[in-house]
Amino acid sequence: MTAYTDFQNSITSARSLTAMYKELRRSRNLGQRGALTAANEDLLWLPRSAVVSAISAMDAYIHAVIVDKLPSALAALNIPVSLCDMVAELIPIKNATSFKSTFPLI
């Protein structure tokens, strides 16, 4: 599977959690909105889990894309200045020019 397919599957799972939350609210006659009583606070774990799952999916997707694309971008002799500027913000290099001169050492 591709990173994007994994991302889509994870988002589908997160949507299933929110659908489950809505269905359980409906089955308990709690309405679509509003505060939950202490007896129904267990339902709050479903939307929380959906948010965590969605953020985790996004993190995994971004990580996979970076791991896949960054080496080929850095292997090019003509590294884009915008990429150099972004990397210079992350590591202690003052600007894009000094990053380009430092890159062969990395």
Query: Is the Cβ–Cβ distance between 54 and 11 less than 8 Å?
Result: yes
Tens digit of pLDDT for each residue in 13-36?
999 999 999 999 999 998 888 887
Helix, strand or coil, per DSSP, at residue 31: coil
HSE (CB half, 13 Å, CA atoms) of 26? 6
49/69 Cα distance (integer angstroms): 30
Name the burial class of residue 60, with classes exposed (0-12), middle (13-18) and buried (19+) by CB atoms within 10 angstroms of its CB. Answer: middle
Residue 93 has pLDDT above 70, yes or no: no
Tens digit of pLDDT for each residue in 44-89?
899 999 999 999 999 999 999 888 887 777 776 677 788 777 777 7
